[in-house]
Structure 1
Amino acid sequence: MKFTYKFFIGIAIYLFFNNTNVNAQGCVAIRSTGGLCAMDEHPDSLSSSGSWLFNANSRYYRSYKHFVGKQEQKQRIALGTNVINHSFAQDFTLTRIFNNRWSFSIDVPILNNVRSSLYEHGGKERHDTHSFGIGDVSVKAYAWLLNPAKARKGNIQAGLGLKLPTGSYNYQDYFQNTGVGGAKLLGPVDQSIQLGDGGTGIITELNGYYNFSHNFGLYGTFYYMISPREQNGVSSARGGTPSAKAVSNGSDIMSVPDQFMIRVGANYGVGKFNFSAGVREECLPAKDLVGGSNGFRRPGYIISAEPGITYRIKSFSIYTFVPIAMVRDRIQSVPDKITTRLTGVYAQGDAAFADYAVNVGVTFKL
């Protein structure tokens, strides 16, 4: 019984610390939404008086490899025309556990992005644009679907919440050599480094685990955010005049897309350490479940191998997870399909992706 109890704690700790923070590795603008699972222990071990959890998760990546579909555009790096994004996200999440069934969390992301490119600055010299500030805050409620007193080997937790449009979706910086006479021009930065998307999202989430022994088990997460708003009204022309092509295919205004993530894997506990190995898919789909899907977006997905390690001392834990990209695919967008239909020539844009991302975080039980 003692071993079983400790194993349940280890599995649930893993699922909590192995957070579902969605923030894709590149120009596919899947933003930090904090999707933290509120599981810190097996639910049956939590007192009805409740407790608090505080989590700080840091995520960094550098995207620089361009893809059209699954085909890498290696000439972009060779020619020096590739776009390079440095993205840092710091999520602060506070979770209130009311009892062994219910919990509530609020996540506040702070984002810092730098984007280096040629084509946005006249095409001859490489310059940077920046964005910094609070991103889109999310609030979520969680509930265990199975009775924790009876579901001793595993359980499923459902989450439902809102992603609020608190982050700037019209963040502006100067673009060099794009104004009259080669002057700099102030305009909205690229969609991939905007702090928010301008829409209210409906968050749905499922987290589950199952144990086979006192130190080995499986985990899984499904996260989907529905974005009913089609476009946010912000021009994609970076302070300039949209091209006739962009106007005709609808990509002159930024889209507000859905996004989803799936994670599955296994973990093994040794003492105070918990080692994990899994697969993670992050996706920004071309079409939304609710509302229209036109406007500028770079739809695509990343499938990554995700090793991780967690270490816990009493009420304090630290973890590291590094999803490593195995498949990167920039799929055809709605504007791409409109252009294909209008011209009779197949059109598909590109996007830059990272090789890996680094997640490091700590959690305190208050």
Structure 2
Amino acid sequence: MKKILLSGLVAASLMLLPAISYAQGCVAIRQFSGLGNAVGQGNILEKGEWNISANYRYFKSFRHFRGSHEEANRIEDGTQVINHQHGVDFNISYAFSERLYGIVSLPFQYNERSSLYEHGRTERHTTYSKGFSDMRIGAGYWLLSGEKAKKGNTAIGFGLKFPTGDYAATSTFYNQGDEGVEQIKTVDQSIQLGDGGTGLIIDFQGLWNITSTYFWYYDGFYMFNPKETNGTPTNRRRENEAIMSVPDQYAVRTGVFKSFEKIHGLGISLGGRVEGIPVHDAIGGSDGFRRPGYIISVEPGISYMKGNVTGTLNVPIALYRNRTQSVTDIENSTPDDVVHGDAAFADYLINFSLAWRIPKKAPKVFNSL
């Protein structure tokens, strides 16, 4: 029973890692948003142990929403914007004690954005961005210890996101201006490698044993981005949308995980999650261009643990998508003309993670002669 419980706790905690912080589309919670990629491993580490993980995610956004209404004609007319986004995070976690852990997360991105409207509205072309994104460091603390934590635990974490990614990445745009020339310009906000702000991250996570093989999990974060704008031009016509905003971001997940007695190391999960970008930041101003909105998804997952290595696959499937009215939309609206921008969303997101727990080496014992 103890072995089953431990196996379930280990696998379930690792299943939380890949999918906390990645929204699907132009309303993009980038992979550098939260600390969920590496937080969660502290509860399976003893003092002095390490955990190294690599998380890969991919999505294709192409369905346009204005509010919660899908503009299906965009696909029928061939005018939809299509984003292909790939990201890999390399995470290192260390347990300072059985309750206190620290993490460092190093993210990388490769993005493609295909559109008509950015290239003279006559030909479809693709812009690109790739490279290092905004790194994160943080720490967390489990609230219970010893016997009090034998059925489960909750951790509270804090972290910082640094503006190490290029937030003014450029690419070639075609059919620009009256003469239809090629120009090097900054790419759309949704495929920028960073947001240019230093963010404060507050997160939580928890895992509780319901029965011998069932576990309730929950986790979430909010990232405060006090900086208002980052100085990067959007190439948009409206004056109040000329510069990119530095928005807050958030995500919350919960669900049930099941481990299997007969197939040791195998686990499956089913849950839901909400993630998005708010219209107004909690701290600081909210001017500049942003695409606020949120996504509600159902999230099935599967994991397998062999020794100290665990692989997990989570595939959040979008159920409800809403591109909310932004600050600049409201400013540009009149009683006779309500402005409400759109955004492209994906149908699903693929998250795959490999994590390697490095046990603390036992001290060598020398026999005396």
Smaller-chain TM-score bracket? over 0.9
2:293–2:322 contact (8 Å) kept in structure 1: yes
CA shift, 1:217, in A, is 1.3
Match of 2:29 in 1: 30
Match of 2:198 in 1: 200
Instruction: Return the match for 2:222 from 217, 224, 247.
Output: 224
Aligned residues: 352
Instruction: Return the match for 1:211 from 209, 212, 222.
Output: 209
Are residues 1:163 and 2:161 paired?
yes
CA distance in 2, matches of 1:148, 1:117: 56
2:268–2:301 contact (8 Å) kept in structure 1: yes
Match of 1:353 in 2: 345
Instruction: Return the match for 1:267 from 235, 257, 271.
Output: 257
CA distance in 2, matches of 1:37, 1:196: 19
The correspondence of residues 157-196 of structure 1 with structure 2, limited to 5 A, is: 157-179=155-177, 181-196=179-194
Q: Deviation per CA, 1:113-139, whole angstroms, max 9, x where unpaired?
A: 000000000000000000000011000
Other structure's SS at 1:176 match: strand
Name the aligned partner's letter for residue 261 of structure 1.
Answer: A
CA distance in 2, matches of 1:294, 1:24: 22
CA shift, 1:29, in A, is 2.4
CA distance in 1, matches of 2:109, 2:46: 35
CA distance in 2, matches of 1:42, 1:289: 30
Q: Deviation per CA, 1:67-92, whole angstroms, max 9, x where unpaired?
A: 00110000000111000000000111
CA distance in 2, matches of 1:16, 1:69: 34
Match of 1:306 in 2: 299
CA shift, 1:222, in A, is 1.6
CA shift, 1:42, in A, is 4.7
CA shift, 1:180, in A, is 5.1
Match of 2:94 in 1: 96
The correspondence of residues 115-134 of structure 1 with structure 2, limited to 5 A, is: 115-134=113-132
Match of 1:279 in 2: 272
Are residues 1:364 and 2:356 paired?
yes
TM-score (norm 2): 0.92
Cα pair distance change 1:209/1:125, threshold 3 Å: same
Other structure's SS at 1:11 match: helix
CA distance in 2, matches of 1:283, 1:95: 26
Q: Root-mean-square deviation (CA), in Å?
A: 1.5
More off after superposition, 62-71 vs 17-26: 17-26
TM-score (norm 1): 0.93
Name the aligned partner's letter for residue 342 of structure 2.
Answer: D
1:93–1:106 contact (8 Å) kept in structure 2: yes
CA distance in 2, matches of 1:81, 1:134: 30
Gaps of 5+ in 2: 359-369
Match of 1:108 in 2: 106
Cα pair distance change 1:294/1:58, threshold 3 Å: same
2:247–2:290 contact (8 Å) kept in structure 1: yes
Other structure's SS at 2:348 match: strand
Name the aligned partner's letter for residue 53 of structure 1.
Answer: N
Match of 1:39 in 2: 40
1:37–1:207 contact (8 Å) kept in structure 2: no
CA shift, 1:344, in A, is 4.5
Q: Deviation per CA, 1:206-247, whole angstroms, max 9, x where unpaired?
A: 00111121201100012110000010011110xxxx52xx11
Gaps of 5+ in 1: none
Match of 1:333 in 2: 326
